[in-house]
């Protein structure tokens, strides 16, 4: 390990917080978490007493060469290829895991045993039993813990949640969530996702990757998921990996689900890595109510109230006389559009440093894993599967 370091409080009321970043060479860290953390390292996270907390990062990964390049690009000088060595650093009381899903339960268990506060990417674990074991272990150890729920902080979904909280919809009738992108198979164009996403042994599969997002988005915007009926498919069965080697896909790349929410509301959730996009965004959520409907993507949200709703019809002899898209009102931005990953990091750092509330502790991550397991079981048994409340 390079330069173990220690947290200090300086005369200008700044304090350093050591954070171990596991999976530092992965694409998600490079694209999202590291830029957010480097910005906070420069600007600090303000606490209630006026102190500003500066993250002090220790990068962990398996490849020393890649780690060196990542560290140098970020002007960081602390990295290690040995997780146990990193966990032994007294100057880094926070452990963050964004390494491949396979092995996350073991890594977090070791971090808890080392007395670290833990922040984790989704999914929290590979099975519900493992996720609940981590909940019990973390609570028993008295550490601070949480899971990443980045998408709820995106501007479009925040606006949609605000409409729900303000009662704009009236009684909610139904929900639709559409997610897709076409991931190339590597034959003529390089795939935009790493090959491990398509291998079961490495923690791949669309359900395990995306349904944790759908769990917290649906639950926080509309209501908790109480039952699921899902059908999954492997639509593209052969792909090429990063070294142009052919491999067989042994996980699903498309899932079609119905979810029953609190109050009997039905959500239709379609997810695919094999469908090209013709709508406003990669992820689009529509909420229909008695008084209004709203459609949100990651950054924009559009509203149609009852008074604005046209008497739509399906003419057989001529095209529609107007555009349905033009009949929706775009909600304005009433504030800045901060990085959604940065919001989560600021909240978790305050949670660690001053006990501020954090909305997604490990039990919320366990709910996501519960939905994953129930969806797989529903497809296997071809039936609805209940999701009882977790204790």
Q: Which domains does the chain have, with CATH numbers?
A: 14-150 (3.40.50.720), 152-340+369-385 (3.30.360.10)
DSSP 146-198: EE--GGGGSHHHHHHHHHHHTTTTSSEEEEEEEEE-B---SSSS--SS-GGGG
In 3D space, the residue among 105, 128, 125 whose CA is nearest the CA of residue 374 turns out to be 128
pLDDT at 10: 53
In 3D space, the residue among 63, 67, 56 whose CA is nearest the CA of residue 90 turns out to be 56
Distance between start and end Cα atoms, the chain: 40
The whole-angstrom distance between residue 35's C-alpha and the CA centroid of its chain comes to 16
291 token code pair: 């008084």
Please say whether the dihedral angle defined by the alpha carbons of residues 14, 17, 23 and 28, taken in this order, is positive or negative. negative
The number of residues making up the chain comes to: 391
H-run or E-run covering 231: strand 225-233
- CA separation (Å) from 329 to 65, 292, 303, 326, 335? 51, 11, 5, 8, 18
Residue 156 near residue 298, CB atoms below 8 Å: yes
Residue 201 near residue 292, CB atoms below 8 Å: no
90 token code pair: 């007294």
The whole-angstrom distance between residue 176's C-alpha and the CA centroid of its chain comes to 19
In 3D space, the residue among 209, 202, 61 whose CA is nearest the CA of residue 123 turns out to be 209
120 token code pair: 């984790």
H-run or E-run covering 385: strand 385-386
pLDDT at 5: 38
Kindly report the average pLDDT of the chain as a whole number. Answer: 94
The pTM score is 0.93
Beta-strand ranges (E) seen in 23-110 are: 45-46, 52-60, 79-80, 94-97
241 token code pair: 């990996």
299 token code pair: 């950054």
80 φ, ψ (degrees, to nearest 5): -155, 150
Residues of the chain with pLDDT under 70: 1-12
């Amino acid at each position: 390990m390079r330069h173990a370091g220690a947290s200090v409080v300086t005369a200008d009321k700044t304090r350093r917080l050591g954070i171990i970043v596991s999976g530092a060479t992965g694409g998600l860290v490079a694209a999202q978490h590291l830029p957010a953390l480097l910005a906070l390292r420069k600007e600090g996270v303000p606490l209630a007493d006026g102190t500003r907390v500066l993250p002090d990062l220790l990068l962990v990964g398996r490849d020393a060469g890649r780690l060196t390049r990542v560290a140098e690009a970020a002007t960081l000088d602390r990295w290690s290829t040995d997780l146990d060595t990193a966990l032994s650093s007294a100057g880094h009381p926070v452990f963050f895991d964004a390494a491949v899903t396979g092995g996350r339960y073991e890594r977090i268990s070791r971090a808890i045993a080392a007395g670290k506060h833990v922040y984790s990417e989704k999914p929290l674990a590979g099975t519900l039993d493992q996720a609940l074991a981590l909940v019990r272990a973390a609570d028993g150890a008295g550490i601070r813990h949480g899971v990443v729920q980045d998408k709820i902080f995106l501007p479009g979904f925040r606006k949609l949640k605000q409409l729900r909280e303000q009662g704009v919809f009236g009684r909610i009738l139904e929900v639709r969530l559409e997610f897709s992108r076409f991931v190339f198979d590597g034959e003529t164009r390089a795939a935009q996702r790493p090959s491990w996403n398509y291998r079961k042994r490495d923690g791949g599969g669309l359900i395990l990757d995306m349904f944790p997002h759908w769990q917290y988005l649906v639950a926080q915007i509309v209501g908790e998921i109480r039952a699921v009926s899902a059908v999954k498919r492997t639509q593209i069965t052969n792909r090429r990996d990063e070294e142009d080697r052919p491999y067989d896909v042994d996980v699903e790349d498309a899932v079609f689900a119905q979810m029953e929410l609190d109050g009997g509301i039905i959500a239709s959730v379609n997810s695919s890595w094999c469908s090209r996009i013709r709508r406003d965004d990669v992820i689009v959520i529509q909420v229909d109510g008695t008084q209004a409907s709203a459609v949100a993507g990651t950054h924009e949200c559009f509203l149609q109230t009852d008074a604005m709703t046209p008497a739509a019809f399906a003419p057989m002899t001529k095209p529609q006389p107007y555009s349905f898209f033009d009949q929706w009102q775009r909600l304005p931005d009433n504030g800045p559009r901060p990085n959604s990953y940065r919001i989560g990091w600021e909240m978790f750092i305050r949670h660690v440093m001053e006990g501020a509330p954090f909305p997604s502790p490990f039990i919320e991550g366990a709910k996501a894993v519960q939905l994953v397991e129930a969806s797989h079981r529903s497809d296997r048994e071809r039936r609805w599967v209940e999701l009882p409340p977790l204790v």
